[in-house]
Amino acid sequence: MGAYGGKDYIDTIPIKCEYPRSQRFDVALINKDEVEHYDPEIRKQARWRNDRFWNQSVRVAIEIKYLQLGDSLSGKAADFQKDIEKLTNYQRENPELPFLGIALICVQSDAFNTSPFCIGESVESSGGFPLTGIFRHVVTPSSVLTFIA
């Protein structure tokens, strides 16, 4: 992101955790081409509770889950689906901005049935990765499966 702000700027990197404040993605890459600087008049109109620094647009967002022995498969599947919905909603709310959403679930054992996570079109048949879209990755000890959500 580089310098943020007017003459009293903050020099920062574009990678953030639990960002932006409105969405709280596990990992987010700020869209450096769309940085909005602090403006007290806009702050009053928009009723921001804090500086604009905490709600910049996101170019890439990653949601991460881990499925381990003892976890509820249906519970993790529901949580993973919520991550997909969060990424999809962000993309819908900001259609004019490029956005890449990644939902990642790491599965501890091949003994788990991973089919509840394998929803969407397989990337192998999709023609590759576009610059925007929502992807889900299922990582097990023996494979990495990727789907377009």
Rounded Cα distance, 124 and 8, in Å: 48
Which tokens hold the place of 139?
Answer: 């990582």
Whether a cis peptide bond, with omega within 30° of 0, leads into 95 is no
Residues in the chain with pLDDT values less than 70: 1-12, 38-40, 42-43, 45-52, 124-131, 149
Q: Is 148 exposed, middle or buried (CB count within 10 Å of its CB: 0-12, 13-18, 19+)?
A: middle
Q: What is the pTM of this model?
A: 0.80
Whether a cis peptide bond, with omega within 30° of 0, leads into 20 is yes
Rounded Cα distance, 5 and 3, in Å: 7
30-46 residue pLDDT tens: 887 777 776 667 667 66
